[in-house]
Structure 1
Amino acid sequence: MAINKLTITLFLLISFAVFHCLAFRVEVQEFEPPRQEGQEGPGGGSGEGWDEEATKNPYHFGQWSFKNFFQSKDGFVKMLPKFTKRSSTLFRGIENYRFLFQEMEPNTFLVPHHLDADYVFLVVQGKGVIGFVTDTANESFQITKGDVVRVPSSVTHFFANTNGTVPLRLAKIAVPANVPGHFQVFFPAHSGFHQSYFTGFSKDVLTASFNIPEELLGRLIRGPQQQVGQGIIRRVSPEQIKELTEHEHATSPSNKHKDKKDKHKDKDRSTFGSPFNLLAQDAIYSNKFGRYHEAHPKRFSQLQDLDIAVGWVNMTQGSLFLPQYNSETTFVTFVENGCARYEMASPYTFQAEQQQPWFGPGQEEEVEEEMSGQVHKIVSRVCKGEVFILPAGHPFAILSQDENFVAVGFGIHASNSTRTFLAGQDNMLSNINTVATRLSFGLGSKLAEKLFTSQNYSHFAPTTPSHQFPEKPKPSFQSIFNLAGF
C-alpha cells in the first residue's frame, strides 16, 4: 500500500512538472537553429519539412528550407516554398508572393527567359548586366550592389555576371500572374533539362511561322549540338562578356536617382523603368550603430503597382534595432551577412504538425479570433542565407551579435503603411501623457516620466545600456515591452 501511494505521488509530481513546462513553452517560444551555416538536412538534400521539425518557428526559414528552382555548376536559383505551406493562417496575407535567391559564378550567362510573374530583385553582391527584350525594344543595364530592378511579367530578359572574381547575388520577390503562389519559367532556347517553349508547337506551325526549312527546326527546338547538356546558367569567356556588354550598350543606374527631393527625379527613364540604387539614397535612419535605407512605392514608380517596398539594414556589432512595428507591411527579410538575434511579440501560437482542414467547393475557412491576453515571445538566431518574416502589427527588435549584420527586405502591402518605434527618442509611447502612463503601468510620477524618455538614441542603440533606473518596476501582467527589457 505504501508503494502504491509513493507511485501515485511521483506520478502526480511528474505530471505537474510536465504541465508546467508545457505551459511555459506556450508563453515564451524561443527558437535556435540546430545546425550551423552550410549544414544540410536529412539525407543531404534540401530537407523538405526539416525546417519545421528542427526549429518549430514558423517565421524563420533556414538555408535548408530552400529548394533548387534550377541549378548548374555555374550558379543556381533557389526558392522558398509557398508561405501558406508553412501556415495557412499566419501567412494568408502573403500567399501570392514567393521569395527567391539567385547566385551566378564569375563570367557566367543566364539564358533569355520569361516568367508568368512580376518580380523585383535587389543586388546584394557583385556586378553584372540585365537585358530586356520585347517586340519593340531592346534595353540593358549594368547592375551593381544596391541596385533595385523591376522585371515585368512575361518580359524576356537575361543576366550576365561581368565580374571575373566575385559571384553575382540577387534577392528576389515574385508576384505570380496566373495561379496564386505559383509561376513557371519559359525558355525560347533549349537548355539542359529545360525544353524550349517551341516544343509545344507542331512542325507545320513552326515551319509556316518562321518560313524556314524543316531541317532548321531541330536547331530551334533542340539547340546547337555543341550546347547539348549546358545549363541555364553557363560559363562564358571574358571576351564574350565584353562583346555582350558592348553590343548591348548597357547603361548604369548606380549614380542616378540621388535623393535631392526632385519630384520628377524618379520618373521612368526607359521602356521598363530604370533601375535605381538603394544605397545611393539617403538613409532614413542612421547613427554610429546602424543605417537603414528604404525605397517606398509612393516614391518609386517601378514599385507602385506591386505595392512593394525594398529595405537594407546595416548594423554594427553589438547594436540594437530598437523595438518597432509596421502598421500594414509584412517584411520578408533575407540575411546577407553576419548573425543576429531577432525577437518578436506575437499573439499567435503555432504547431508544426497542425492539420490543414479541407473545405469543399464554395466553402471558406473561418478563423475565430480570441483575446487570450497572452503574448508569445518569438526568439531566433538568424545567419547569412536565412530568411525571417516580420508580420504587420507585430512588435520586433533585432540585435546584432558576433559581427556586423546586413539584411535586406521586401515589404508587402507597403503603400499606406507606417513604422512605429516603441523605444528611442522618437518613440510613440513618449507621447502618452504622464497621467495615462502612471495609470497604465502603476508607476509613480517621476518613474512615469522616465519610462519612455531615458533612451539617448533613436532607431539604433548599443546593446549595453548606459544607465538603469534605480528601481526596476515589475509589471503584473504580460506586456509587449518585455521585448525591450523594461
Structure 2
Amino acid sequence: EIQIMATTVKSRFPLLLFLGIIFLASVCVTYANYDEGSETRVPGQRERGRQEGEKEEKRHGEWRPSYEKEEDEEEKQKYRYQREKKEQKEVQPGRERWEREEDEEQVDEEWRGSQRREDPEERARLRHREERTKRDRRHQREGEEEERSSESQEQRNPFLFKSNKFLTLFENENGHIRRLQRFDKRSDLFENLQNYRLVEYRAKPHTIFLPQHIDADLILVVLNGKAILTVLSPNDRNSYNLERGDTIKIPAGTTSYLVNQDDEEDLRVVDFVIPVNRPGKFEAFGLSENKNQYLRGFSKNILEASLNTKYETIEKVLLEEQEKKPQQLRDRKRTQQGEERDAIIKVSREQIEELRKLAKSSSKKSLPSEFEPFNLRSHKPEYSNKFGKLFEITPEKKYPQLQDLDILVSCVEINKGALMLPHYNSRAIVVLLVNEGKGNLELLGLKNEQQEREDRKERNNEVQRYEARLSPGDVVIIPAGHPVAISASSNLNLVGFGINAENNQRNFLSGSDDNVISQIENPVKELTFPGSSQEVNRLIKNQKQSHFASAEPEQKEEESQRKRSPLSSVLDSFY
C-alpha cells in the first residue's frame, strides 16, 4: 500500500510542482503591486502597520464618530498629495531643487486652502479679503484713469501743468519742498519763461525751515497759515509776522529762515524764483548739518584762521562731526531724496514765543519799504462785485520791491457758480497757481501755434480753444494777448505772477466796464461785424456786470435771432 502511494505521488509530482510555481508567482505579483502603492517602510514600521491593520479589522463594522471619519479622509488627502509629490520628483528628476520646492509649496497651499474653505469663519475672511482686493484694484484703476485723463489734458493743452508735475526735493514728517518742472521744457511757447521757476513749501505746526540762502531772487507769497520770517543782512536782522496773502521779495543770496507759528494749521508758501547764475537753475546753501552745509566745505586751515579757533572746537560747535555720531542716528536722519532730515524740524512753543517778540506785522496801511512785506488783500481790489474780486500789486513806485524784477503779483477770488469774464493781458505773461477750489479755464490760441516760424506760411491761423479742469496745485500759463475766461465750480482762489508787468493792461471782451470792444467806433463796428452797430451795441449791453458775472446767462437768446459774426465767434469760444 505504501508502495502504491509513493508511485501515485511520484506520478503527480510535476503537476504539484507546476501549481506551486503558479502560487509563488501570484504571491510575488501581489507583493510588487502592494509595494508600488506604498512608501518604503523599515521592518519596525511594517510590524506596527500590521498591528494597526489588525486593530482596524477588529473595529470594522463598529460605529465611529464623524470627526474620526473626517480625520481619516484628511489623512487620505495628505497621502494622495504626498504620493503626487513623490511621482512628480520621479517623473522630473532633472528639475532644480528650488523649482520642486515651489511646486511642493503650491500643492501644500492648495491642500490648506481646501481645508480653510470648509471653515465658515475662514470662508468669511476669504470673502472679505477678496472684496477688499477688488475694491483696491478698482481704486487703482480709477486713479490710473484719472492720471491718464490728466496726461490727456496736458497733451491737448500745453498751457496746463497738473499738480503731479511738481518734483519733491525734500520730504519728512514735518513737511516738504516741491519744485515745478521747467516751463520751457514743455513748449517753445514758454521760451521767455526759461529763467523762472515755481517752488512750493509746506510745514506742519511748530516747525522751522532752517537758515539757508539761494542764488536766486525770490517772491514769497503765503498761501495758507501763519509764519515768522526772519531775513538777515550783514549788519541787521528783521523778523516779520506773516499771514495769508502776505508777499515779500527776498533778494538773491539773502540768508533767511521761516517758522510755522500756528498751533494747528499747516503753513503753505509759494516762491516765484528768478535765478541769477544759470538760467532756470538755482541752488540752496544751508547752515544746518546736511550735505549742503557750506561751512563744512572749507579746509581746516581756512576755518581756524577765519574763526581764530582750533578746528576741534569749530567741529564740535558748528559742524557736528558725523563720524562720531551713532550709525543708527545718521541712518534715521536720511530721507528718500538722500538729504538730511533736519531741513525742516520741530521747534518748541517757548522758542516760537521768543521769536514772535521780535517780529513785526506786514505793512497794511503804510507804504512798504524795499524789504518789508505787503499784503495782497490789504488794499482796495482792482475789481470787485458779488461774484468775485481781484487784488493786484504792480511794479509801481509804491511797491519798489517789484520794480527791478518787472513782475506783478495778483490774487483772484471767484465765487462758486461765477465767471471771470473773457479778457487778455497786453504785455504780461501770467503764471497762475490754483490755491483752493475747483473750476474750469478756457484759453484761446491759434492752431499749430507751437510750430516754428519757418512753417508759418503753412500754418492754419484758425482760433483754437484750450480747456483745463482746475484743481488745487495746478498751474496754468497765460501768454500775453491770449484771451482767457475762468469759471468756478466751487469757491476758487488763484495766485498769479505776471512777467513783463510794466505798462501791462487788462482788456476785457465783455462786460459794462473796461470792455475794449465797446470802444470801437460805430462806423468801424459796421465794417468789422456783419451786424449793424446798433445790434453790436445792444449785444454788448446785455451784460450788466463788469469783470465778474454769473456763469449762467440771465436769458438765452435764440440762435436764429442773431447772425454769426467774428465778435460772436470769439465770445462763443468761451461757452
TM-score, normalised with respect to structure 2: 0.68
Conserved 8 A contact 1:190-1:223: no
Partner letter of residue 391 of structure 2?
Answer: H
CA distance in 2 between counterparts of 1:110 and 1:182 reads: 21
- The answer to whether the aligner puts 1:231 opposite 2:342 as a matched pair is yes
CA distance in 2 between counterparts of 1:255 and 1:415 reads: 23
- The answer to whether the aligner puts 1:276 opposite 2:374 as a matched pair is yes
- The answer to whether the aligner puts 1:80 opposite 2:170 as a matched pair is no
- The answer to whether the aligner puts 1:291 opposite 2:389 as a matched pair is yes
Conserved 8 A contact 1:331-1:412: yes
User: Using a 3 Å threshold, how does the CA distance of structure 1 residues 332 and 286 change in structure 2: closer, same or farther?
Assistant: same
Partner in structure 1 of residue 255 of structure 2: 156
CA distance in 2 between counterparts of 1:236 and 1:348 reads: 54
Deviations 1:116-167 (A, max 9, x none): 0001011111111110112211111110111011100001000000001001
User: Using a 3 Å threshold, how does the CA distance of structure 1 residues 477 and 431 change in structure 2: closer, same or farther?
Assistant: closer
Unaligned runs of 5+ in 1: 1-35, 258-264, 355-364
User: Using a 3 Å threshold, how does the CA distance of structure 1 residues 441 and 382 change in structure 2: closer, same or farther?
Assistant: same
Partner in structure 2 of residue 251 of structure 1: 360
Partner letter of residue 438 of structure 1?
Answer: E
After TM superposition, the structure 1 = structure 2 runs for residues 131-210 of structure 1, keeping only pairs within 5 Å, are 131-191=230-290, 194-210=291-307
Conserved 8 A contact 1:344-1:483: no
CA distance in 2 between counterparts of 1:81 and 1:67 reads: 7
User: Using a 3 Å threshold, how does the CA distance of structure 1 residues 297 and 84 change in structure 2: closer, same or farther?
Assistant: same
After TM superposition, the structure 1 = structure 2 runs for residues 85-484 of structure 1, keeping only pairs within 5 Å, are 85-87=185-187, 89-191=188-290, 194-219=291-316, 220-222=318-320, 229=333, 230-246=341-357, 249-257=358-366, 265-266=367-368, 268=369, 273-298=371-396, 299-349=398-448, 369-370=456-457, 372-401=460-489, 403-426=490-513, 427-469=515-557, 471-475=561-565, 479-484=569-574
CA distance in 2 between counterparts of 1:245 and 1:154 reads: 24
Partner letter of residue 153 of structure 1?
Answer: A
User: Using a 3 Å threshold, how does the CA distance of structure 1 residues 41 and 235 change in structure 2: closer, same or farther?
Assistant: farther
- Return 455-464 or 215-224, whichever deviates more: 215-224
User: Using a 3 Å threshold, how does the CA distance of structure 1 residues 101 and 437 change in structure 2: closer, same or farther?
Assistant: same
SS in 2 for 1:378: strand
Partner letter of residue 251 of structure 1?
Answer: K
Cα offset, 1:53, TM superposition: 5.8
Conserved 8 A contact 2:217-2:252: yes
CA distance in 2 between counterparts of 1:305 and 1:445 reads: 44
CA distance in 1 between counterparts of 2:295 and 2:209 reads: 19
Cα offset, 1:437, TM superposition: 1.9
Q: Which has the higher contact order (CA 8 A, sep 6+)?
A: 1
CA distance in 1 between counterparts of 2:244 and 2:471 reads: 20
Conserved 8 A contact 2:162-2:475: yes
Moved over 6 A (4+): 39-42
User: Using a 3 Å threshold, how does the CA distance of structure 1 residues 372 and 366 change in structure 2: closer, same or farther?
Assistant: closer
Conserved 8 A contact 1:323-1:483: no
Partner letter of residue 332 of structure 1?
Answer: V
User: Using a 3 Å threshold, how does the CA distance of structure 1 residues 101 and 205 change in structure 2: closer, same or farther?
Assistant: same
SS in 1 for 2:234: coil
Cα offset, 1:72, TM superposition: 1.8
> What RMSD in Å do the two structures reach over aligned CA positions?
2.6
CA distance in 1 between counterparts of 2:522 and 2:569 reads: 19
Q: Which has the higher helix share?
A: 2
User: Using a 3 Å threshold, how does the CA distance of structure 1 residues 478 and 445 change in structure 2: closer, same or farther?
Assistant: closer
SS in 2 for 1:178: coil
Conserved 8 A contact 1:143-1:254: no
TM-score, normalised with respect to structure 1: 0.80
Cα offset, 1:480, TM superposition: 2.9
CA distance in 1 between counterparts of 2:551 and 2:321 reads: 58
User: Using a 3 Å threshold, how does the CA distance of structure 1 residues 322 and 256 change in structure 2: closer, same or farther?
Assistant: same
CA distance in 2 between counterparts of 1:439 and 1:84 reads: 40
Q: Which has the higher strand share?
A: 1
Conserved 8 A contact 1:107-1:235: yes
CA distance in 1 between counterparts of 2:454 and 2:373 reads: 41
Deviations 1:308-362 (A, max 9, x none): 11101111111010000001101111111111100011115378xx9xxxxxxxx
